[in-house]
Structure formats: structure tokens, C-alpha cells
Chains A and B, each alone.
Chain A
């Protein structure tokens, strides 16, 4: 996914990618990433968990404004099924 992200950013559209694989992201080097230690298949968290999905999407969108250093990987550190998204 990071490869596609890099191609889009090269066309001068800012991008951020959610990633569940930090090792891969560190190799592929997309411009901005949000890393979650979540299981595959769950980049926005759990089904029907609106607050969780919303928080993660807002985190990603906000990264578009706040990240200044190319290659930054934001790590909010939410713990799978344990973090309270209030």
C-alpha cells in the first residue's frame, strides 16, 4: 500500500496511510503513516465501534496537517480491544 501512496504523493497530493505493519512501512517509506498494533483486517478497529473508527480516522486526517517531517509514523498506542475510546 505504501508503494501506491508514494506514487500519489509524487503527483503532489498529500497522503497518509494507516498501517498495521511497522516493519514494512519503515522499509517502503511512505511520506506519512499512522501505525496501530491491531490484527490484520482491522485498520479502523472493531466492527460497529463508531468511536474507535472515528478516532482513528481523525488521527489520520489530523496527521495530514500536523506532520512536518517526511517519513513520520504516528503511533497513538491504542491497545487492541482494551483502549477506551470515550
Chain B
């Protein structure tokens, strides 16, 4: 992507961050995949006995994993999975459509792993599911099909296999 486009993107990121009404106006005019009906699964047992998983669309991944593709304007529908006990210093964020300067300093701003670990130690939740799953938001065009038919079902399947009993999702 050219420097002018990078600059334009950086300006838009800051405008959307600081002017919430602009994001709301954009959302009203943008075509989304609108939900038909609402899926529903009740929590099977109390939180203090449940295995909790986290999924984020904030573009988090291990430094050793390939970064999300920032060159495609329709985003990157692929998935990154890493252990829930990963060292925070081994994590990074690849995502140029939001300002992650705060999350770069403290990953808990987008993926609250320390807070979830504390709540486990306190017995507020039962345990943490073994794997964290991460996407990049901003997925559009043909990649929506890949997300909906391949990567999102793959995450759901893996969460089931790993015994996740509830999931908290965090955006960018």
C-alpha cells in the first residue's frame, strides 16, 4: 500500500477512535451481514465451575506466528491460535485499522488474560480453556465467506473439543 494511502488510513483510524458519532454514522450506512434469528445456548453450570475461553478480533498473535495480511483491503480471514498460558512478552498485534498503542503496552486492554487468570485463582470461574483464538477484524468482501464457512466453524469445533463451556469475545 502506498504512503499516501497509509497516511489516509492512519488519519481515519484516529478520527474513528476519537469521534464515536462518526463510527455510528458509518455503521448506519454500511452493509453488514444481518443476523436472522438469534442462536442461543444457556450456560450449563455456574461460572465458578465453568471452563471459559476467549476469542478476540484485535489481531493478537504470537511473535513467532505469521502476521495478519494488512495489504488486502478486505482483511485477512485466517486464524491464529496460541496457548492461554502464553507469555505476554511473546504476543504482538498486527492490525492497522485501529490504534493499538494502548494494547501494545498492556495486552489486557484487548485480551484480558491477566484478569482472567486472577479470576480463576479467586474461584470466580472454574478454569481457562487451553487455547486463545484470534482474528483480525475488518473482514469484508469474499473473505466473509471464508470466515463464516471455514475459520469461524473451525474455532467453534476446537473450542468444543477443548471443553470450553462459555466464551468471551473481545473486539479491537
B86 at the interface (CB under 8 A from A): no
Are A6's CB and B35's CB within 8 A? yes
Are A61 and B168 closer than 8 Å at their CB atoms? Answer: yes
Roughly how many angstroms separate A39 CA and B98 CA in the complex, as a whole number?
Answer: 10
* A22→B105 CA distance, assembly (Å): 27
Residues on B with C-beta less than 8 A from A6 are: 35, 38-39
Q: Considering the chains assembled together, what is the distance between the CA atoms of A7 and B18 in angstroms?
A: 31
User: Are B171 and A31 in contact (CB-based, < 8 A)?
Assistant: no
A13 near B160 with CB under 8 A, answer: yes
The answer to whether B169 touches A15, judged by C-beta atoms less than 8 angstroms apart, is yes
A53 touches B108 (CB 8 A): yes
A70 touches B119 (CB 8 A): no
Whole-angstrom distance between the Cβ of B130 and the nearest chain A Cβ: 15
Q: Tell me, rounded to whole Å, the shortest Cβ–Cβ distance linking A18 to chain B.
A: 5
Binding site for B on A (CB under 8 A): 1-24, 27-31, 37, 39-48, 50, 53-54, 56-58, 60-62, 64-65, 70-71
Q: Please name 11 further chain A to chain B contacts, defined as beta carbons within 8 Å, in addition to the given A18-B168, A65-B43, sorted by A numbering.
A: A1-B169, A4-B152, A11-B160, A18-B169, A28-B34, A30-B35, A41-B101, A41-B102, A43-B110, A61-B166, A70-B39
The 9 closest A-B pairs by CB, nearest first: A29-B35, A23-B27, A47-B106, A70-B38, A17-B169, A7-B152, A11-B156, A9-B39, A12-B41
